Amino acid sequence: MKQAKKRDSWGSRLGIIMAVAGSAIGLGNFLRFPAKAAANGGGAFMIPYFISLFLLGIPLMWIEWTLGRYGGGFEHGTAPGIFHSLWQKNRFIKYFGVIGIFGPLVIFIYYTYIEAWTLAYSFFALTGKYSTLADQASMQGFLRGFQGLENNQYFHGIGLAYLFFIITFILNIWVIYYGIKGGIEKLCRWALPLLFVFGAILMIRVMTLGTPDPARPEWNISNGFGFLWNADFSSLKSAKVWLEAAGQIFFTLSVGIGVILTYASYLSKGDDVVLSGLTAAGTNELAEVILGGSIIIPAAFVFFGQEQMRTIATSGVFNLGFVTMPMVLNKLPLAALFGFFWFALLFLAGITSSVSLAQPAVAFLEDEFDINRKKAVKIFAIVSFLLCQPAIFFLKNGVVDELDFWGGTFFLVLFATIETVLFAWVFGMEKAWDEIHKGADMAVPKIYKFIIKYITPLFLFLILGMWLWQEWLPKIFMTNISSADRIYIIGTRLGLICVFLVLALLVKIAWRRKRVTAENLR
């Protein structure tokens, strides 16, 4: 009889907590969160944000940790196998789990390119490449030239951006190649503390800005924080604000993607998921609410004032991170050093997230096809590298936005809805409650038994329904897409359909192999 291949494992409890926190702490913590908060009522945004955290984020975090550990007991590290373990009588449920591989893969193929920009800008900061740029237009031109969106005095072509993409891609593959304990855990053990050090330095520097322009005393750091945190309670009447807050919780905790399922599958049956999951979520919230809310928006307010800040807050995360923040830091002593801290922080946040996005696909090849780690990573590297190319070369045609909608928005909510219903209603809440508490160092408050069974799925159905109501028809018919770009969007959608179908076919092949093997052993 063929001996079962030993699955990888985490080196320590701290390792898995830091890895999950590293997956959650990404570019959205420092770019997306402050922009969303400032644009959606400031402090009032935090009311639906924390309600979503307690009714959606934390329950989903516990659900995914528990499902992952449960599936790992059956030697399944990805959603198809885990879903099949939960509902073995349903032969179709494993195909719903394809979303848990498809979503992370789709995000990975554009996220690594954006991550490469942060590495490049870390280098630019130290070398002073953008240090003479003092206004929004020139800094915007610098970014567009680097991205290959236009040829200008700063850049000609996409060559340098592509070079940094190659470096970033190789770094990701190198980490993944060395596995869970030797690669991902080792990276997160040093990257996460360093990220917090850089974040703390920047936060302290921002808080000591005072009033740089005596002619505008109202442009001070106190009012900068006020701009972000003072509550406009009238915004709570808007369904959009609630949807934005719930969406931010999804993004910030990396729930509904399939990554946590895979990470937790490497736990043993007696490992705690309650306190560990809560600790990982708390670490992410510390990075987002304390650090993310204390750097870019308050700093920009001090130099640009309230009116321009309203425009900046809604101008997009790329402009915030790569245009506004470099301009702010250029006005400070030691601008090169602080610029490096800012972009190095973003790079560390990016790479700890991107390696997690790669793991479900690699784990699927390992677990369901008995392919060794090195070969699985090589296959993933070749396929994902080819899939990255449209996001790089057709950035100006809206390909990244299209990938982000399907991989990072729609399928994320759909997957979370499916896994919650499976956990609470198919697996059964009583059995699920017992499973959560196996090896637990603390008891989950009993109110969460009701929340997980009723409130969380209802919340998810509401979000999904509202997104379908508001976004579906305009999105499908490309209402806001220029006629010149529609061919690229159609091509992207056809490509995504092909990727999904190939993954579904691989699931079918894997289960057929298992069935044949089981029959031969009888």
Three-state secondary structure of 466-496:
HHHHHHHHHHHCCCCCCCCCHHHHHHHHHHH
Q: What is the structure's pLDDT at 497?
A: 97
pLDDT of residue 5: 62
DSSP string, 331-379: TSTTHHHHHHHHHHHHHHHHHHHHHHHHHHHHHHHHHHH---HHHHHHH
Q: What pLDDT, on a 0 to 100 scale, did the predictor assign at position 231?
A: 81
CB 288 within 8 A of CB 385: no
Query: Measured between alpha carbons, how far is 473 from 327 in angstroms, rounded to an integer?
Result: 39
* 8 A C-beta contact, residue 101 and residue 116: no
Beta-bridge partner residues of 42 = 231
Tokens of 29: 């913590």
Among 304, 392, 287, 398, residue whose Cα is nearest residue 345: 287
**DSSP β-bridge partners for residue 155:** none
Q: What pLDDT score was predicted for residue 522? A: 67
* Nearest to 302, CA basis, from 276, 328, 263, 337: 328
Query: What domains are there in the chain, each with its CATH number?
Result: 13-521 (1.20.1740)
Percent helix, percent strand, percent coil in the chain, to nearest 5: 80, 0, 20
- pTM summary value: 0.94
Q: Residue for token digits 């936005």?
A: 401
Token reading at 3: 């001996």
pLDDT of residue 1: 41
pLDDT at 314: 76
Residue-wise pLDDT tens for the chain (522 aa)? 444 567 888 999 999 999 999 999 998 899 888 888 888 878 888 899 999 999 999 999 999 999 999 999 999 999 999 999 999 999 899 999 999 999 999 999 999 999 999 999 999 999 999 999 988 889 999 999 999 999 999 999 999 999 999 999 999 999 999 999 999 999 999 999 999 999 999 999 999 987 877 888 888 899 888 888 888 888 888 777 887 888 889 888 989 899 999 999 999 988 999 999 999 999 999 999 999 989 988 988 898 887 787 777 777 778 888 998 999 999 899 999 999 999 999 999 999 999 999 999 999 999 999 999 999 999 999 999 999 999 999 999 999 999 998 998 888 889 999 999 999 999 999 999 999 999 999 999 999 999 999 999 999 998 888 878 877 888 889 988 999 999 999 999 999 999 999 999 999 999 999 888 777 776
At 214, which amino acid appears? P
